[in-house]
Amino acid sequence: QMLQQGLSAGPQLNVVDAEGGITVRPDPGFVIKTRDTQSGMKIFLNVVSNENVEKPHMKSFAELEGEEGCRVPLSVGTPVEDFDKKKEPCVTYDLVANPEVVDECQQHPAFRESVISLCLAAVSQKYKIDLDSKYKLPKMKYKGASVQIQRIRKAQQSQIEEVSSGGNSAAAPIPGEGAARKAKAAASKELRSSD
């Protein structure tokens, strides 16, 4: 019995752990084939999906002066050594997105182009490799023997709650209002002390 417990001591699938992570086996989606421009090695990016990854959503970017863009959360897995169909060595990476992302990619080529660019950039940045921006989309849902299990951060449900202004007279603070009040109080204090 102790031996059985010892064997199952690994991460449990689909159970949120103490740090808010969850280990999942994502569903296959589509494959991006490119190369590492420095080594020439073939690279396969498996875009896979799981509902525990946050859905894509619009977000305004302060650095772009109020412009909005679509944020597509991705979880980038570890590199796995493999072989291509010519038995040449290659490396695969799994990128987990929300199922809506994979569906949208299959229906809208322009959205797919954006997601592919995002995937290439995410792997390049995380693993400090230079991926070729030229790619192919092989007619396969997954490159590798089976979809790798991956630990991802559980999608956060919005922490924002709507509060009714019913019997409570305290209004929500307005950003910057507290600082403006303090500045005004300091200025009037200075005026009084200079009299």
Residue 178 in 3-state DSSP?
Answer: helix
Give tens-digit pLDDT for 138-156: 999 999 988 999 988 875 5
What is the model's pLDDT at position 159? 44
Give tens-digit pLDDT for 85-112: 999 999 999 999 999 999 999 999 999 9
Contacts of 180 (CB under 8 A, 6+ apart): none
Mean of all residue pLDDT scores within the chain: 79
Q: Is 43 exposed, middle or buried (0-12, 13-18, 19+ CB in 10 A)?
A: buried
Contacts of 142 (CB under 8 A, 6+ apart): 28, 29, 31, 46, 48
Distance between CA atoms of residues 32 and 29, nearest Å:
10
pLDDT at residue 3 above 50? no
pLDDT at residue 76 above 90? yes
Q: Which residue's structure tokens are 């910057």? A: 176
pLDDT at residue 25 above 80? yes
pLDDT at residue 31 above 70? yes
pLDDT at residue 53 above 50? yes
Amino acid at 73: P
How do beta strands 89-97 and 42-49 pair? parallel
| Confidence grade of residue 26 (pLDDT, cut at 50, 70, 90) | very high
